Every structure is written in structure tokens, then in C-alpha cells.
């Protein structure tokens, strides 16, 4: 049995994670971290799966009292960072889907994971198709160093660029020589027209109602182009990855950044 605490249970992803827990035989929800509904039970909340687990607004008390093995965090960058640190401090292994952490925060979590000799998984994208899209993009960048990333998400998303776009750029940087793309003298007549800059690569973030999570990695070469594209049409697309991470975080004593490190 894996005892799980979920942070962000009322959210779009958190509620999907509760459904995953309910339908998985050896998963047991022992609590939720929410910023509302102190003292209530998950089963009291409308629209959520009928699971019997207390809600805590104080994350530290949740980790001390709930008896969790694993934290699934699907909140905001600020809350996710605090929850992840508190989990590790209290011997709970974090599985984090929350995006928007800085490099310094990731390094700090890695250091704490190693110091505590625990496992921790931070995955910018839990959808297997998105993981493959990132790996294919890394491969293609060896041959096509001119690349732009367009990520498209629903308009409730807090962070831009997306965690997936940042991870994609970092993977590409591992194989692509640093290069400033476009005309050396190009000028934006409207600020932001060329998008965000990561090592000379451009990242463009689209936010529109109706979208879920989509990314295109566009490569241009002499007389040819290559586009690698992934779409999540439903948040269920992320759940097999969440399950893999929950199962594996129990077995590793290491900091894992990216689901590709857990796929066979
Ligand atoms: N790795 C992956 O595959 C995926 C990652 N994500 C990431 O997961 C995160 C959540 O996404 P999503 O579910 O769409 O977002 P939602 O806004 O739907 O849900 C976030 C939840 O977190 C809660 N929350 C925010 N701050 C706190 C806090 N301080 N303490 C406790 N709870 C808090 C919110 O509460 P309230 O309702 O009160 O605001 C809300 O219920 C984002 O960072 C997103 O980028 C999303 C999809 C896939
Ligand atoms: O906020 C979202 O929805 C998503 N966030 C993650 C990200 O920032 O990449 C993963 C996925 O794109 C959905």
C-alpha cells in the first residue's frame, strides 16, 4: 500500500490525481493539503471523488500527522516549492508536477533530496507523448540548430513559458552549440514580438480558453523544415506518468528531473 497526500486537490490536475488514487488498488489517500476547507474531509467536497481523508491547510502538520509515504503536488510554483521542501524535511517522497520553479529552487530541492537520502521526482510533463516529443526535439536539434518553440495552454495557466517548454530548451541546449537566431540586426518594433530568449532560441507562449496543453518545436534548415508536435486533449493524458512516478519514487534514492529518466 502506498500512502499518498495530495496538495491542490480542488485543482484541475489535483482532482484528476484523486480519481487516479481512487481507481488504483494499492494507493491510499491519507490527506490533502488545501488552502481552504481546514478540518473538512475530502468526501465533504462537492465534485471530488468520494475518498475518506482529512484536509489540512497547514502543510507541516499534514506531513507530521497524515502518515504519508508520497506527496503529489499540483499547486502553484510558490506553494509547490514550500510543500516539496517540507515533504523532504519530514521524510515524505515528493512527486511534483507543479511547473515554474527557478533553477535555484531545483538545485535546492536536489540538494535536500540527496541530504535526506530520499527519492524525489519533478516532471515538467507527465504525458508520455510530451516526453517523447522532447526527446525527439533533442535528437533533431543535433542536425537543425535553428529552432523555435511554440507552447499553447489554457488561459488559467500562471507560469510562462511552460515547464515543458523550458525543459525542451534545456534538452536542446545539451546538443546545440550556443547560437543567436534570426537576423543579427533584427529589432522588435513591438516589445516581445520575437518571444522569450533561451540561449538564442525563441519561446512563444499562447494562452487561450479551450486549450489544454500543446507544444510545437519547429526546426528550419536549408530548403526544409521539421515540426514536432504534441497535444494533450484531456488531463487524463498525464495520469499514467503520475502513476509511474509514484511507483518509482518509492524505489529510488535520488533526485529525478523529467519522466524520461523513469521510462524504460
Ligand atoms: N507536470 C505535468 O504533467 C503537469 C503540470 N501541471 C502543473 O500543475 C500545476 C497545477 O495545475 P492545474 O491543476 O491546472 O491548476 P489549478 O489552478 O486548477 O489548481 C491548482 C490548485 O492548487 C491550489 N493552490 C494554489 N496555491 C496554493 C497554496 N498556497 N496552498 C495550497 N493549495 C494551493 C489552488 O487552490 P485555489 O483553488 O484556492 O486557487 C488550486 O486548487 C501547475 O503548476 C501546472 O503547470 C499541469 C498539468 C500537467
Ligand atoms: O499548466 C498546465 O496545464 C500544464 N503545465 C505543465 C507545463 O507547464 O509544462 C505541463 C503541461 O504542459 C500542462
State whether the beta carbon of 27 lies less than 6 angstroms from ligand 1: no
Atom of ligand 2 nearest to the CA of 159: 8
- Are 117 and 133 found together in one domain? no
Tell me: do 26 and 39 sit in the same domain: yes
Ligand 2 center to 56 CA (angstroms) = 25
Q: What per-residue confidence (pLDDT) applies to 88?
A: 98
Does the CB atom of residue 161 touch ligand 1 within 6 A?
no
Point out which residues pair with 202 in neighbouring strands: 148, 197
Q: What is the pLDDT of residues 140-176, one digit of tens each?
A: 999 999 999 999 999 999 999 999 999 999 999 999 9
Q: Environment class of residue 216 by beta-carbon count within 10 Å: exposed (0-12), middle (13-18) or buried (19+)?
A: middle
Q: Which ligand has its closest atom nearest to the C-alpha of 122?
A: 1
Q: Which residues pair with 179 in a beta bridge?
A: none
45-56, pLDDT tens digit by residue? Answer: 999 999 999 999
Task: Give helix 163-173 / helix 128-141 axis angle, nearest 10°.
Answer: 30
Atom of ligand 1 nearest to the CA of 238: 3
Residues in the chain: 264
Model confidence at 221: pLDDT above 90? yes
- The reply to whether 163 and 240 lie within a common domain is no
What is the domain extent for residue 84?
2-122+236-261
Query: Into how many domains does the chain fold?
Result: 2
- The answer to whether 243 is a known ligand-binding residue is no
User: Exposed e or buried b for every residue in 86-117, given b needs 16+ CB within 10 A?
Assistant: bbbebebbbbbbbbbbeeebeeebbebbeebe
pLDDT tens per residue across span 87-115: 999 999 999 999 999 999 999 999 999 99
Instruction: Give strand pairing partners of 7.
Output: 33, 73
Do 183 and 212 reside in the same domain of the chain? yes
User: Cα of 167 to ligand 2 centre, how many Å?
Assistant: 11
Q: Are 9 and 50 in contact (CB under 8 A)?
A: no
Task: Please tell me which residue in 22, 116, 157, 202 is annotated as part of the active site.
Answer: 157
Predicted structure pTM score: 0.96
Q: What angle, rounded to 10 degrees, do the helices at 103-116 and 77-89 form?
A: 10
For residues 114 and 245, state if they share a domain. Answer: yes
The grid coordinates of residue 43 equal 468526501
Work out the percent of the chain whose per-residue pLDDT is above 70.
100
Mean pLDDT of all residues in the chain?
97
- The CB of 162 under 6 Å from ligand 2? The reply is yes
* 136 lies in the same domain as 171: yes
Domain match, 240 and 183 both: no
pLDDT band at 264 (very low <50, low <70, confident <90, very high): confident
**pLDDT for position 201:** 95
Amino acid at each position: 500500500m502506498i500512502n499518498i497526500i495530495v496538495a491542490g486537490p480542488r485543482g484541475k490536475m489535483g482532482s484528476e490525481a484523486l480519481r487516479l488514487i481512487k481507481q488504483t488498488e494499492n494507493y491510499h489517500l491519507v490527506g490533502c493539503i488545501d488552502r481552504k476547507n481546514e478540518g473538512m474531509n475530502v468526501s465533504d467536497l462537492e465534485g471530488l471523488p468520494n475518498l475518506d481523508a482529512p484536509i489540512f491547510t497547514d502543510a507541516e502538520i499534514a506531513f507530521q500527522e497524515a502518515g504519508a509515504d508520497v506527496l503529489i503536488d499540483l499547486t502553484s510554483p510558490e506553494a509547490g516549492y514550500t510543500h516539496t521542501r517540507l515533504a523532504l524535511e519530514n521524510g515524505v517522497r515528493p512527486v511534483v508536477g507543479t511547473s515554474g520553479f527557478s533553477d535555484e529552487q531545483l538545485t535546492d530541492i536536489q540538494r535536500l533530496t540527496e541530504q535526506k537520502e530520499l527519492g524525489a521526482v519533478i516532471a515538467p510533463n507527465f504525458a508520455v507523448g510530451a516526453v517523447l516529443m522532447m526527446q525527439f526535439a533533442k535528437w533533431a536539434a543535433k542536425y537543425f540548430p535553428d529552432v523555435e518553440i511554440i507552447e499553447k495552454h489554457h488561459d488559467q495557466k500562471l507560469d510562462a513559458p511552460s515547464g515543458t517548454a523550458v525543459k525542451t530548451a534545456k534538452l536542446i541546449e545539451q546538443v546545440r552549440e550556443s547560437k543567436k537566431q534570426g537576423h543579427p540586426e533584427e529589432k522588435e518594433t513591438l516589445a516581445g514580438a520575437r518571444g522569450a530568449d533561451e540561449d538564442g532560441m525563441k519561446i512563444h507562449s499562447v494562452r487561450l480558453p479551450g486549450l489544454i496543453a500543446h507544444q510545437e518545436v519547429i526546426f528550419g534548415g536549408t530548403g526544409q523544415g521539421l515540426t514536432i508536435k504534441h497535444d494533450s486533449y484531456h488531463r487524463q493524458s498525464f495520469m499514467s506518468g503520475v502513476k509511474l512516478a509514484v511507483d518509482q519514487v518509492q524505489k529510488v534514492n535520488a533526485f529525478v528531473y523529467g519522466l524520461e529518466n523513469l521510462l524504460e
